[in-house]
Structure 1
Amino acid sequence: MFLLLIYVSISRIVYQDWAARRYIYCGPVIQNLLNEVFFQDRDDDAIRCRDFYEPFPKLALALIMTAIDCAIDEWHTGKRGRITFSETAYRPVYKTYLEDLNRFELEGLQHNILGKLQARMYRDGLEHAGVQYQPVTSVSMSKEVLANGVAELVVEFNN
C-alpha cells in the first residue's frame, strides 16, 4: 500500500492529468514550486539572469522534482517527519530525474518537446512574477563578415 501511495504521489507531481498519465512534466505542483523558488517577483534571479534561466534549465527542473520528492518523503507516514534535503540523501533521486529528462529530451528531439516545455515554464514563471515576456531577437553576422574576421585572425596569429 505504501508503494502505491508513493507512486500516486509521484504521478501527481509529474503528470498534469495523473489519473490518465497524460501531459508528462506538466504537473501544476512543478510550476507552482518553480514560481515560488525562482519567480517570486520582478527582482528574482530567474528574471535578472535571463541568459541562465531561459529556457528554464533542465538541471533546475530535476532539482525541483527532487525537492518535491523530499516533501513527499516527509509525509510518508501521514504525519510530517523531519527529513534533511541533502546531496548525499537525494543525489540518486536527482540523477534519476535528470536521466529521465535526458531520455525524454531524446524521445522528443525531432519536435524539441523538452525545449518548448522549458520555454513555457519560463514564460509562465514570468507571468507569475508580473513580468511581460519580451522575446529576444538577434542579428546574425553574414558569411562575408565571418570570413573577413577569420582571415584577419589568421594573419594576426601567424605573425
Structure 2
Amino acid sequence: MLLRDMTFVYPETGNSRKRHNPYRHPIIQTVINASFFRNKDDVGAVHYEHFSPMPIPIIALTLTVVECCINEWSDGIRKESSWDEEKYQTVYTSHVSALFDFKAHSPSNNDVLYQLQCDLLKDACKHAGVPPYPTPKLRRFPPGALEAVREECSEPTS
C-alpha cells in the first residue's frame, strides 16, 4: 500500500477523523535518521548546512531505498536484489519528479513540501541529539511573476 501512487501515503488518526498524508509515513524519517543522523557526529548533524531544509534528492533517495526493500520482501520471503543502476535510477528520477509535482500543486500560500522538508530535518536533529538548525525562509515570487516569465519566454524572437 505504501507504493500506491508513489506518495507513501500514511493515514493518521486523531480527533476522530482520518487524514491521508503524502510522504509522512514514519519509515521515511526512520531511514533518514539511520542514514544521516544516527548521532551528533553523523554526516547530517555535522554538515547541517547541506540538509537545511532536507534536500529533495535525499527524500527521493530515501523513497527509492524503501521501495527496493519492499520489493525484496514482496512475497514474504526476502529475495536479495542488487542495486541495478538502470532500474533504480528510473525509480529515483520518478520520485524526484513526483516530489516536484507535489510542490507545484501545493496551495500558493502553503508550501506543503517545504514544510515536510523542515519537519524531516527537525525530527532528524532530535534523533541525533542536536538542536534543530534554522531553516531558511522560503522565498516566493510575486503574484504574476512566473506567468510573465512564461509569456516572455514563449514569445517568438525576431
TM-score by length of 1: 0.74
- Superposed displacement of residue 136, structure 1: 6.8
**Alignment-derived partner of residue 78 in structure 1:** 76
Distance verdict in 2 for CA 1:23–1:128, change over 3 Å: same
Question: Among 54, 58, 77, which residue is 1:60 paired with?
Answer: 58
- Superposed displacement of residue 9, structure 1: 3.8
Distance verdict in 2 for CA 1:50–1:82, change over 3 Å: same
**Alignment-derived partner of residue 15 in structure 1:** 9
**Alignment-derived partner of residue 100 in structure 1:** 98
Unaligned runs of 5+ in 1: 1-7, 138-159
Q: Percent identity?
A: 28
RMSD over aligned Cα atoms: 2.5
**Alignment-derived partner of residue 142 in structure 1:** none
- Superposed displacement of residue 118, structure 1: 0.1
Q: Structure 1: how far apart are the matches of 2:79 and 2:135?
A: 45
| Correspondence 1:126 to 2:122 | no
**Alignment-derived partner of residue 35 in structure 1:** 33
Distance verdict in 2 for CA 1:79–1:18, change over 3 Å: farther
Distance verdict in 2 for CA 1:136–1:55, change over 3 Å: closer
Q: Structure 1: how far apart are the matches of 2:115 and 2:79?
A: 37
Q: Deviations over 1:27-74 (max 9, x none)?
A: 001111111111100011111111111100001100100000000111
If you compute each CA radius of gyration, which structure gives the higher value, 1 or 2? 1
Distance verdict in 2 for CA 1:109–1:44, change over 3 Å: farther
- Superposed displacement of residue 134, structure 1: 4.3
Q: Contact 2:52–2:134 (CA<8 Å) still a contact in 1?
A: no
Return structure 1 stretches of 4+ with deviation > 4 angstroms.
Answer: 18-21
State the one-letter code of the partner of 1:39.
F
Unaligned runs of 5+ in 2: 137-158
Q: Contact 1:13–1:27 (CA<8 Å) still a contact in 2?
A: no
